Homo-oligomer: A and B are copies of this chain.
């Protein structure tokens, strides 16, 4: 059994070895740049940890795990265009540093590269791995569409929000774990449970991300404070606040979080002020805990010795550490 630290080390090594110095440079340079913007390499780590959990050979899951990380970075590259986001991890996004066409096309290439790596899954697992990956990829696109729809939609419920983040964020976390399980030849029932573990963990993880947009050390985080508010994103913070707000607060929230209100500074200030009045941070925190507990319950049901689950529990805990 491998430690999460060891697994993250071999993923970093494998990613550093990946070659993108192919021609034309205009296509591959932005891919290298994007892949080098670091990040925690969480999804490939989860893939390998799940493989290891079920006693699989993690070497067989290494290429598919890299494919998952490339896919994840492809979605970020395209999302940055769609969200008009200038900065990621304290550096200019690809479409800002180069241009939009480059970000579209280098992103497209990354998607094909992702499949190239996924296809290196062992023959016995190939069909199932690709099926799971495809289902995940389509889900992620659907989630991004719901997210964009929310920006112009006046009525968004908390249920709508859950469906959106389940697809946009949780699907890839769940899919990464399940792909690891498939490569370890885990029983289908257990592969289903590790997926459900990831699905709940992913929702908790997105709730944390929503929280970090407002309550965090933004220098460390490398993003603008209130970036979600600036682009009128209907986050859990906003939707839960609407539920908790009195009529006066509700009126302010609706007025400010609208494309019609363009003074970004006032928008961010006013919305955060209400979040604080309502103590939204604790509400989100409780919701995170709920999903985390649900995730751990699925993990506990998996028919594997409890000791083997320690590393995956640890990384799940780290994903949700209260940095805010």
A109 partner residues in chain B, CB cutoff 8 A: 138, 141-142
Q: In the docked arrangement, what's the CA distance between A144 and B24, Å?
A: 10
Q: Most B CB atoms within 10 A — which of A81, A101, A107, A123? A: A101
Q: A26-B148, A142-B23, A145-B26 are in contact. Are A134 and B108 (CB under 8 A)?
A: no
A138 partner residues in chain B, CB cutoff 8 A: 109, 112-113, 116
Q: Which residue of B lies closest to A119 (CB)?
A: B130
B24 touches A105 (CB 8 A): no
A35 at the interface (CB under 8 A from B): no
A276 at the interface (CB under 8 A from B): no
Count class of interface residues, chain A: 35 or more
A134 touches B149 (CB 8 A): no
Interface residues of A in 139-195 (CB under 8 A from B): 141-142, 144-146, 148-149
Write the nearest CB–CB distance from A185 to chain B, whole angstroms. 18
Interface residues of A in 47-83 (CB under 8 A from B): 78, 81-82
Question: Per-residue CB proximity of A1-35 to B under 8 Å, as 1/0?
Answer: 00000000000000000000011101100000000
User: What's the dominant secondary structure at chain A's contact region?
Assistant: helix
| Neighbour of A115 across the interface among B126, B130, B148, CB < 8 A | B130
Q: In the docked arrangement, what's the CA distance between A148 and B81, Å?
A: 18
A104 partner residues in chain B, CB cutoff 8 A: 78, 81-82, 104
A115 touches B142 (CB 8 A): no
Q: Which residue of B lies closest to A71 (CB)?
A: B112
A131 at the interface (CB under 8 A from B): yes
| Neighbour of A148 across the interface among B105, B111, B134, B146, CB < 8 A | B105
A204 at the interface (CB under 8 A from B): no
A115 partner residues in chain B, CB cutoff 8 A: 115, 130, 134, 137
A127 at the interface (CB under 8 A from B): yes
9 more CB-based (< 8 A) A-B contacts, given A101-B148, A105-B144, A111-B111 = A23-B142, A27-B145, A78-B105, A82-B105, A107-B108, A108-B141, A112-B138, A115-B115, A115-B130
